[in-house]
Amino acid sequence: MPREARRIERGDILPPEVYAQRRSELRKALVAKKRDRRLAVGPIVMLYFESFDTMLGQVQEMLHIEKGGEAQIEDELNAYNPLIPQGRELVATMMIEIDDPVRRARTLAQLGHIEEKVSLQFDGEEVTAIPEDDAERTTPDGKTASVHFLHFRFTDAQVAKFRATKQVIAAITHPNYGHLAIMPEAVQQALAGDFA
């Protein structure tokens, strides 16, 4: 039976004192779940595929760190609920990971609109990422942000092919960053579970 698409509701959030007591075990369990939800595409781009659990963990962690109480909860739900896959999509946080600040600034200045050049390819299909439209992430001078939120929207037929195929390729086709990555089977299986 298909599961309903979910949103984090107020009742899903643990009280601050309960989360503080259980934080270590909850974070450890979440790290284990995230292990099969990430994919490096080339040397500096990582796709972190989100789920209800990853977003709930993020909300709990933000509330724990910022200690904004009830007043903060609505803002966190508005920020993170759009990143939960809803039935026929995958959602990824794409991070351009460069430790050196000088190199990072130089590289980001060359990668404007990279978020529009990401796709998943499998069994003759190509699903192109749709960037989250909450903010413009490329400046007028062509510098991109180091974090992007991407939606990959599938048809029913594409979902069936994604589940059945032996190989999924993540592709970035930006003129200054062209890389492919074969998705490990464990990641593909984890992501197949995101489809309702």
154 within 8 A of 88, measured Cβ to Cβ: yes
| Per-residue tokens: 164 | 């059945």
Collapsing DSSP states into helix, strand and coil, what is residue 72?
Answer: helix
Domain ranges of the chain: 10-192
Q: Say what the pLDDT of residue 5 is.
A: 55
Q: Say what the pLDDT of residue 6 is.
A: 82
Q: Say what the pLDDT of residue 73 is.
A: 92
Q: Say what the pLDDT of residue 1 is.
A: 29
Q: Say what the pLDDT of residue 3 is.
A: 44
C-alpha distances out from residue 171 to 73, 150, 175, Å = 36, 13, 12
C-alpha distances out from residue 55 to 14, 65, 111, 189, Å = 14, 15, 27, 19
| 10-residue averages of pLDDT along the chain (196 residues) | 66 92 94 95 98 95 89 91 93 97 96 96 97 82 94 97 97 98 97 90
Q: Are strands 45-49 and 89-96 parallel, antiparallel or unpaired?
A: antiparallel
